[in-house]
Chains A and B, each alone.
Chain A
Amino acid sequence: MDLRDLYQQVILDHNRSPRNFRKLEGANRSAEGSNPLCGDRMTLYLILEDDRIADIGFEGTGCAISQASASLMTAAVKGKSSKEALDLFQAFHAMVTTPPSGSIETAALGKLAALSGVRQYPARVKCANLAWHTLHAALAGSGAASTEAAMEQPDETSTGA
């Protein structure tokens, strides 16, 4: 296993200079996300206009994987409808939870494909998914997401860790 599969330049770059890392003034949706086992925390802000993500920002602390994943996610979903964003979550989720022996489809994921190496590190899958669970909570209006609560959902049983 090569560490460069996990820590690709794109990830190191987004970790060092996360995009959309700010509290969003005028946000009409927000959610807190946490990974209680490791202490990663984030707050996600959205401006949702006519079911479209007009703007997005996040704050928080975490490892390079969780920070880069949040940064890449905000860049990827800005301007998308909530359904398009959730479809992207599905594709992303499939990419990081497919065992290394299985084949994955990354064509629709663009830069998010940089996180494909995470699937070789089951203990880190939750780090990559935290931002997406938080986005899901913000879009659903539930206000909070925990990777532990997510583990209890049947579709999340493969996240490992």
Chain B
Amino acid sequence: MSTTIGVSVPRRHTMAFDAERVRADFPILAQARNGQPLAYLDNAATTQKPRRVLETLQQYYAEENANIHRGVYRLSAAATLAYERVRATVQRFLNARDPHEIIFVRGTTEAINLVAQSFGRPRLEAGDEILLSTMEHHSNIVPWQLVAEAAGARVRVIPMTDTGELDLGTLDELLTVRTRLVGVVHVSNSLGSVNPVAEIVRRAHERGIPVLVDGAQAVPHFRVDVRALDCDFYAFSGHKTFGPTGIGVLYGKASHLQAMPPYQGGGEMIDRVTFEGTTFAPPPARFEAGTPNIAGVIGLGAALDYLHDLPWDEVEAHERDLLRYATSRVESVPGVRVVGTASEKAAVVSFILEGVHAHDVGTILDQYEVAVRTGHHCTQPVMDRLGVPATTRASFAFYNTRRDVDRLVDALGEVCKVFGR
């Protein structure tokens, strides 16, 4: 259910996914420069927004704007209802047990910092260990280094193979009596590898160790079920899920959230305040100090409603086709080597072109209106492990087509011409 990408599953006969029809829902994809339409292949950095999200934001600010959880007047009550409805939408989206297990945050980074500070920090003592993986985004490394350093604890690392798969052969040795938490990325942003998160959770839980999953690159590509994964925490970002920037989600099991101290103090998160002391509201309010990003939440709800209406079997088949087609076409360019060839991958193709640095590739592709990401993708340990300074990364969403791949490959031909390859 959560790891069907890359697995060839015999499909019932469905209509092929109509990417062209879906593209019409995304106004930005209609733009062109010098007669060249935009080939947007940087979806792992951020995704484009469907008209439904844009119209929902416009309507909220034009007709429904009010602060939540405090006004007794009509608009405030309506805004509160709309905000809390999205909490239930997210709960269904992740198949969480209860809406109170959904915390709204700024994004995946803040979600992980919240867990590091409120769940990790109070538990960490000198000599304790946090276990991460080689392919974590910096946002699932640095927050743990900060709390580990303060406690005298250390960060240990699950190794990665040359193809970009987690090497779980040593996992049993890495899970020790000092391990306080495992943090692992569901889908690698730089390589596209889909990690066997359910297995990692199972093996950690056998030793009573909780697991946080960074799902930022997973939820845009396939359905995620946090109860099937049985993870303790799951984080994702709205803007990588076709919603607005500045909004994200932390899912946490209710038993953990109830036992955790607040992350930030302020209004909204209290039960009673006196100068002698303050008692805190139960989750999720305990973790949502101050006026939240109300419009962001409502926009995220519109994005998730949009995703809900998509035919996901067809979407996943379409993305598998894009991945296969892109991999074979990009590999056909002389001098190209694809980096990250895990057996299970989301639609991400990271590559190097021999003799040409990724930044030069990116600048030249941009002249042909092909937008890709170049560099280390905030995963320097991955680059170090694979011995490459930087890659060019094409990352796809369901609105991409084979035509976008052709544009990428044609533009790569121009790169080769400029560099005399």
Closest 9 CB pairs of A and B: A63-B359, A63-B357, A39-B376, A61-B389, A64-B360, A38-B375, A63-B360, A7-B418, A39-B390
**C-alpha spacing A55/B295, complex, angstroms:** 60
Least Cβ distance of A32 to chain B in Å? 15
Q: Name the CB-closest residue of B to A62.
A: B357
Interface residues of A in 90-127 (CB under 8 A from B): 121, 123-124, 127
Q: Which residues of B contact A41 (CB under 8 A)?
A: 389
List, in ascending order, chain A residues with CB within 8 A of B418's CB.
Answer: 3-4, 7, 12
- With A12-B420, A61-B389, A124-B359 as contacts: A39 and B383 at CB distance below 8 Å: yes
Chain A residues with Cβ under 8 A from B420's Cβ? 12
Taking residues whose C-beta sits less than 8 angstroms from the other chain, chain A's interface range is: 20 to 34
Interchain CB contact under 8 A, A1 and B367: yes
Which residues of A does B touch, CB under 8 Å? 1, 3-4, 6-7, 12, 37-41, 61-65, 67, 121, 123-124, 127
B275 at the A interface (CB under 8 A): no
Question: What's the least CB distance linking A10 to chain B, in Å?
Answer: 14
With A3-B367, A3-B418, A6-B363 already in contact, the answer to whether A64 and B356 are too (CB < 8 A) is yes
CB distance from B141 to the nearest CB of A (A): 15
Contacts of B357 in A (CB 8 A): 61-64, 67
Would you mind naming 15 contact pairs between A and B with Cβ atoms under 8 Å apart?
A: A1-B367, A3-B364, A3-B414, A4-B418, A12-B420, A37-B375, A38-B376, A39-B375, A39-B376, A39-B380, A61-B389, A64-B356, A64-B419, A124-B359, A124-B363
New contact pairs (19) apart from A39-B389, A63-B358, A124-B359, CB-CB < 8 Å: A7-B360, A12-B419, A12-B420, A38-B376, A38-B390, A39-B375, A39-B376, A39-B380, A39-B383, A40-B389, A41-B389, A62-B357, A62-B359, A63-B357, A64-B360, A64-B419, A65-B359, A67-B357, A127-B359
User: How many residues of chain B are within 8 Å of chain A by beta carbon?
Assistant: 19
Task: Kindly count the residue-residue contacts between A and B in the assembled complex, taking CB atoms under 8 Å apart.
Answer: 50
On chain A, the residues within 8 Å of B356 by CB distance are 64
Expressed in whole angstroms, the Cα–Cα distance for A12 and B414 within the complex equals: 15
Cβ-closest chain A residue relative to B383: A39
A63–B420 Cα distance when bound, in Å, is: 16
Q: How far is the CB of A41 from chain B (nearest CB, A)?
A: 8
Complex interface: chain B residues within 8 A of A39 (CB): 375-376, 380, 383, 389-390
